[in-house]
Structure 1
Amino acid sequence: MRWTSALAIYFLFWAFSVFFVLPFGVKTSDEAGVERVPGQAESAPHEFNAGKIAIRVTIVATILWSLYMLNFTYGWLTPQMIDPLGAWNGVEYAG
């Protein structure tokens, strides 16, 4: 695999990880014990720390991408292994 392909796959994992990480560690104003701003939704986060979230996302994305690359290199899990309908029968794995 070329390094540009690996980098593109990493960015896909990073974008996916944003949606996975965002809900964790969020406190509403009520949970933080602070009064809400007029018009603020009850579920709105009290404080948004983009740097902290970016670090968490990068850690999760790096772990997932590393597992993907190791699987790509060593072929631990192939499409034939997880195909319940037999659609990959007769198709060779080129890994």
Structure 2
Amino acid sequence: MNWTSIIAIYALFWVLSAFVILPIGIRSQEELGIEKILGQADGVPGNFRPGLILLRTTLLSAAAFGLFYASYSYGWVDRHSFDFLIAGPEASSD
């Protein structure tokens, strides 16, 4: 696999991991008992920690990409793994 492909695929894993990690552990200011400012939205997080989110996202994406790359390198899952999705000649109703 080309190194540019590795970077692009890892970036995809990172972004997808960020969407998984973002809602974990976030509590609104109302849940934490913090007073809201006039005009503030109800769902504003009161304990947003971007450094922790970046760390968790990076760890999750590294693990997921590691599994992907190992599968790619050792051929655990290849295109033949999905042959059951293609209807064979016995499935035709001629």
Select the structure that is richer in helix.
2
Tell me what 1:15 maps to: 15
Tell me what 2:71 maps to: 71
TM-score for the superposition, normalised by structure 1:
0.80
- Report the secondary structure of 2:85's partner residue: coil
In structure 2, relative to structure 1, the CA distance for the partners of 1:36 and 1:83 (3 Å cut) is farther
Tell me what 2:27 maps to: 27
- Separation (CA, whole Å) in 2 of partners of 1:45 and 1:83: 46
Farther-moved stretch of structure 1 (40-49 vs 10-19) = 40-49
- Report the secondary structure of 2:13's partner residue: helix
Cα offset for 1:18?
Answer: 1.0
- Separation (CA, whole Å) in 2 of partners of 1:14 and 1:83: 29
Equivalences, count:
88
- What is the RMSD of the two structures over their aligned residues, measured on CA atoms? 1.8
Matched, 1:48 2:66: no
Tell me what 1:93 maps to: none
Cα offset for 1:54?
Answer: 0.5
Tell me what 1:80 maps to: 80
- Separation (CA, whole Å) in 1 of partners of 2:36 and 2:13: 35
Which structure has the larger Rg over C-alpha atoms? 2
- Separation (CA, whole Å) in 2 of partners of 1:56 and 1:85: 35
Give identity over the alignment, percent: 39
- Separation (CA, whole Å) in 2 of partners of 1:31 and 1:59: 28
TM-score for the superposition, normalised by structure 2:
0.81
| Residue deviations 1:6-33 (CA, integer Å, cap 9, x gap) | 1111111111111111010101012212
